[in-house]
A and B are shown apart, each in its own frame.
Chain A
C-alpha cells in the first residue's frame, strides 16, 4: 500500500541530486536521459510503494521544487 508520493516542479530543478542522496528509502533516482529546458538531468520518483511521505527530500531541495504528500489512514 503506498503511503506517500512526491511531485517535482521539473522546470526549476537544477539536478544537484541532494534529494537522491537524502531519501531514506532510495525512492528517487537521477535519470540518464530526461533533461529540463535548462539542461539539467532530472530526478525521477521510481518507487511509489516504498515512499513513506517523510518529507526529507522536500526539506533538502535547495530550489524548493519538491512537494510531498502523505495518504492519511482512515
Chain B
C-alpha cells in the first residue's frame, strides 16, 4: 500500500467558487452540474474578482446565487438583460453574466432579451432549458416539447392551442450583434466537457469586447417531467435532443 499522504493528487473535486448548499435543487437536477460548469469556467478564465451575476426568477434564481461565490443581484422577472445592460455600462471592465430559465427568458422576459440582442450589448447569457416551469410545479413553458405532458397540458402540448417550442440560440444567431450562440447539454461526461468549452468561448467573447454570447443548456427536471433522475438522461437523448439539436449556431470574431 502506498503512502497516501505524499503521492496523492486531487483529480477533481468541488471548485473553490462552488459553495456547499442544500439549496433548492431536487435530486438529479442538472442545474447543479451547470453551476459546476460555470464555476470551473470562471476559475479557468481568472475573472472571479470582476464577475457580476444576474439571476432571473425560478430555479435559476434559487440555485445559482446560493451556490456560486461571485457577486450576484436578483432581477424582476425576466428583466436580467436590461439590468445587465445598465451594470455593464456603469462598470465596463466587469464580466456580467445573466442566468435565466426558460420561463424567465423565453416567456415573460423575451422582450428584454430581444432588445438586448438588438442593441448588441456586450454580455453573456446562460439559458437553462428544462422544458417546464420547475419552481411552480411543472407547468408548460415555451420550450415544452410537442406532445409532452405537463400539469397545464395533461393531454400533451398540441400545436392548435399551445403553439410551437421556442428555439433561442437559433433566434439569437440571426441578430447582427451576437458573437456566439450555442446549445449544449451536461447529460453525459463528454457533453459536460463540450459545454465547458462553449461557455468559455462565450465569456471570452465578452472579455474581448466582441459581442453578445448566449449558451443554452438543455437540462432535466426530474419532478417536473415525472421521471427518475436516470430515466431523464434517456429522455434527453431520445426526445429533447431531437427537438433541440446541439451545436454552435454562430461564432464570429467580429460583429459589424
Chain A interface size range: 20 to 34
A to B contact number (C-beta, < 8 Å): 95
Interface residues of A in 10-34 (CB under 8 A from B): 12, 14-18, 21-22
* Stretch of B28-36, B74-82, B114-122 with 4 or more beta carbons under 8 angstroms from chain A: B28-36
What DSSP secondary structure best describes chain A's contact surface?
Answer: loop
Contact A16/B9 with A22-B189, A62-B32 known, Cβ cut-off 8 Å: no
Expressed in whole angstroms, the Cα–Cα distance for A27 and B131 within the complex equals 33
Inter-subunit contact A58/B8 (CB<8 Å): no
Inter-subunit contact A18/B229 (CB<8 Å): yes
Inter-subunit contact A62/B29 (CB<8 Å): yes
Inter-subunit contact B25/A63 (CB<8 Å): yes
Expressed in whole angstroms, the Cα–Cα distance for A12 and B18 within the complex equals 13
Residue of A nearest to B31 (CB): A62
Residues of B within 8 A of A (CB): 1-2, 4, 7-15, 18, 20-22, 25-33, 35-36, 186, 188-189, 192, 222, 229-230, 233
Residues of A within 8 A of B (CB): 1-2, 4, 9, 12, 14-18, 21-22, 38, 40, 53-56, 58-72, 74
